[in-house]
Amino acid sequence: MGTIVNPDNSAFQVALNSEIYVDKTGLIEYTNKVMNTLQGYICNSRPRRFGKSVTANMLTAYYSRGCDSADMFNNLDISKYADYKEHLNKYDVIHLDIQWCIEPAGGVENVVSYISESTIAELREYYPDIISRDAVSLPETLSQINTMTGSKFIVIVDEWDVLIRDENTNSRIQNEYISFLRAMFKGTEPTKYIQLAYMTGILPIKKQKTQSALNNFKDYSMLYAGPLASYVGFTEDEVQQLCDVYNEDYEEVRRWYDGYKLGRYHIYNPNAVVNLMLDGSYQSYWSSTASYEAIVPLINMDFDGLKEAIITMLSGNQIQVDVTSFQNDTISFVNKDDVITYLIHLGYLAYDQGFKIAVIPNEEIRQELVKATRRKKWNELVTFERQSEQLLEDTLNMDGKAVAKGIEEIHSEYTSAIQYNNENSLSSVLSIAYLSAIQYYFKPVREFPAGRGFADFVFLTKPEYRSDYPALIVELKWNKNAQTALQQIKDRNYPASIVQYTGDILLVGINYNKDTKEHECVIEEYRKR
């Protein structure tokens, strides 16, 4: 039992000791199935505080022959599978935490040599007659052990990408590290001594010009999680169960922390959900886990179209994104799509693989992105926010003429690329125009089921602002008139569906006249019965 070779199960025990532990041992059933096959090379990337290290520690505790973990796993999901005991604590495991290795190595420049020397030294305790005293190559050492004994290894690498992210300008260190990983895992010889390779980090495997450095690994990421989707974070069912135990409103939890769509699963950030359940406070827990240093430099790049894309997403809309050119590093950005793709990997955005769109996943992340963009202080964004705030104020003051004028200004200055030709195009402009509302309102709900039909927009006030800010029901018309839009709200009794969720309500009818090319707006206060 060592620090790197065949560690004990104490790290995973800490997770089991916690007040909230959600059983993700079903992942082991998948790794058992693919080990000792060409599919047994896995890179499972996900954002900070999505349980990467817990998963790595779980796999180590299950496979390592340096401990006895039967009592840990006997009552967990993995114990239900037929091959559960066949693999339990039966393998030589090498567990590398690259982030941790930096300090004892004496700096990033020594990480590769530290890993090799330390791992070989610990392996020598198990195979003293095989490993020579002058051995320096870890891949060669593993090959020698396999040749002499037939033993195969499970290699688990946590924070595999820390040198890719933190040393993004140091090509020498990066090349040395990638070369080391390639020697460990790529080629005919590693297939002889690797039983299973599992790497986890924020980024997928780094792309090389040759595209061959580690292309034997299967990437599972926030772009595509495949069979691992349900193990990336908490699922809807798991969150619902926690809500039942801790008496939390599931719909409110969903609004704040849902939004990551991976295959057929809606995935929640485990850190946020656990903190909510323990603290009972709906707030952003993101700032303590993902620093602004990760996102502000990306915003500073200011690629053409990036500002518009972020404003669009902050407003509750989605954007098309091409994720294929991103090089899985933090320096090779060539366009806004690369930046947006990186934000997806960081967890600031969610991605729909089917429609190839990016969107801000939930209220927590919306708040963090607003903070980050304000810190950047784009002049254009500051001006836009001021105009949007004035538009909201005019709406609350029930000044229809001022609202119509404000929408016209925002359309011409910021969303002119959206050509009016129907109510849908008008709704795209409106969602952007009311960006400032996100401070006081939840993400606007489009096509909200209300009364006898669907309201175009509903802005529901956050609980802490309900005494000062009325909910907004907005109906849009194209080439008709604003009064018709307002009357539809009344005739179909849209307010009836939200009275239980809010305080006062304003009814807003907006029309765009294609002949005069002008907006018009009428606003009334809803009188509750």
Q: Where does a domain end: 315, 344, 376?
A: 376
Q: How confident is the model over 294-318, as a mean pLDDT?
A: 77
Residues with Cβ within 8 Å of residue 347, at least 6 apart in sequence: 46, 47, 48, 50, 222, 260, 269, 290, 365
Which token pair is 111? 């990480």
What 3-state class would DSSP assign to 45? strand
Sheet with 454-459, strands from edge to edge, namely 445-449, 454-459, 471-478, 505-513, 518-525
Residue 168 has pLDDT above 80, yes or no: no
| pLDDT class of 237 with cuts at 50, 70, 90 | very high
Residue 528 has pLDDT above 80, yes or no: no
Q: CA 169, CA 142: separation in Å to the nearest integer?
A: 31
Q: Is 297 domain-assigned? A: yes
pLDDT, tens digit (0-9, with 9 covering 90-100), for 21-70: 999 999 999 999 999 999 999 999 999 889 999 999 999 999 999 999 99
Least confident span in 50-64, 227-241, 242-256, 416-430: 416-430
Q: CA 359, CA 56: separation in Å to the nearest integer?
A: 29
Q: How confident is the model over 484-502, as a mean pLDDT?
A: 84
Q: Is 225 domain-assigned? A: no
Q: What is the pTM of this model?
A: 0.85
Angle at 296 between CA 292 and CA 300, to 5 degrees: 175
Least confident span in 1-15, 297-311, 387-401: 297-311
pLDDT, tens digit (0-9, with 9 covering 90-100), for 265-298: 999 999 999 999 999 999 888 765 555 566 777 7
64 φ, ψ (degrees, to nearest 5): -65, 130
Least confident span in 298-307, 328-337, 364-373: 298-307
Decide which of 488 and 499 is more confident.
488
Which of 88-97, 443-452, 492-501 shows the highest mean pLDDT? Answer: 88-97
Are 389 and 353 part of one and the same domain?
A: no
What 3-state class would DSSP assign to 39? coil
| Residue 333 near residue 303 (C-beta atoms within 8 A) | yes
Q: Is 3 domain-assigned? A: no
Residues with Cβ within 8 Å of residue 194, at least 6 apart in sequence: 40, 41, 152, 153, 155, 185
Q: What is the pLDDT of residue 293?
A: 63
| Residue 442 near residue 462 (C-beta atoms within 8 A) | yes
Residues with Cβ within 8 Å of residue 176, at least 6 apart in sequence: 112
pLDDT, tens digit (0-9, with 9 covering 90-100), for 449-460: 554 556 778 888
| Residue 268 near residue 257 (C-beta atoms within 8 A) | yes
pLDDT, tens digit (0-9, with 9 covering 90-100), for 337-363: 999 999 999 999 999 999 999 999 998
Q: What is the pLDDT of residue 498?
A: 79
**What are the distances in angstroms from CA 275 to CA 39, 233, 242, 278, 294?**
35, 14, 12, 5, 22
Q: Is 152 domain-assigned? A: yes
Residue 505 has pLDDT above 50, yes or no: yes
Residue 444 has pLDDT above 90, yes or no: no
Decide which of 307 and 356 is more confident.
356
Are 450 and 383 part of one and the same domain?
A: yes
Q: CA 47, CA 324: separation in Å to the nearest integer?
A: 19
Q: Is 228 domain-assigned? A: no
Decide: residue 150, CB within 10 A, 0-12 exposed, 13-18 middle, 19+ buried. exposed
What 3-state class would DSSP assign to 157? strand
Which runs of consecutive H residues, i.e. helices, occur in 247-301? 250-257, 270-279, 296-301
Q: What is the pLDDT of residue 351?
A: 96
Q: How confident is the model over 250-278, as a mean pLDDT?
A: 93
Count CB atoms within 10 A of the CB of residue 383. 12
Are 88 and 121 part of one and the same domain?
A: yes
Least confident span in 293-297, 375-379, 407-411: 375-379
Decide which of 87 and 445 is more confident.
87
Q: What is the pLDDT of residue 415?
A: 65
Count CB atoms within 10 A of the CB of residue 135. 17
Q: What is the pLDDT of residue 290?
A: 53
Are 183 and 86 part of one and the same domain?
A: yes
Are 23 and 146 part of one and the same domain?
A: yes
Q: CA 368, CA 259: separation in Å to the nearest integer?
A: 15
Are 275 and 369 part of one and the same domain?
A: yes
Percent of the chain with pLDDT over 90: 59
What 3-state class would DSSP assign to 93? strand
- C-beta pairs of 348-352 under 8 Å, 24+ apart in sequence: 348/290, 348/295, 349/313, 350/222, 350/259, 350/260, 350/261, 351/222, 351/223, 351/261, 351/321, 351/323, 352/261, 352/318
Q: Where does a domain end: 192, 220, 248?
A: 220
Q: Is 1 domain-assigned? A: no
Domain count, the chain: 3
Place of tokens 């952003």: 284
What 3-state class would DSSP assign to 412? helix
Decide which of 421 and 386 is more confident.
386
Residues with Cβ within 8 Å of residue 119, at least 6 apart in sequence: 4, 5, 94, 96, 138, 141
Are 185 and 80 part of one and the same domain?
A: yes
Range of the structural domain that residue 401 is part of: 379-525
Q: Is 5 domain-assigned? A: no
Are 37 and 171 part of one and the same domain?
A: yes
| Residue 202 near residue 290 (C-beta atoms within 8 A) | no
Residues with Cβ within 8 Å of residue 214, at least 6 apart in sequence: 43, 178, 181, 182, 185, 186, 205, 206
Q: What is the pLDDT of residue 96?
A: 97
Residue 211 has pLDDT above 50, yes or no: no
Q: How confident is the model over 252-257, as a mean pLDDT?
A: 92
Q: Where does a domain end: 358, 376, 394?
A: 376
Percent of the chain with pLDDT over 70: 91
Residue 413 has pLDDT above 90, yes or no: no
Q: Is 269 domain-assigned? A: yes
Q: CA 95, CA 456: separation in Å to the nearest integer?
A: 53
The full DSSP string for 202-234 is SS-PPP-TTS-SSTTSEEE-SS--GGGGGGTSE
| pLDDT class of 412 with cuts at 50, 70, 90 | confident
HSE toward the beta carbon, residue 343, CA cutoff 13 A: 31
| pLDDT class of 212 with cuts at 50, 70, 90 | low
State the CATH number of the domain containing residue 104: 3.40.50
Are 210 and 258 part of one and the same domain?
A: no
Are 432 and 365 part of one and the same domain?
A: no
Least confident span in 102-116, 160-174, 197-211, 358-372: 197-211
Q: CA 415, CA 38: separation in Å to the nearest integer?
A: 49
Are 212 and 65 part of one and the same domain?
A: yes
Are 243 and 207 part of one and the same domain?
A: no
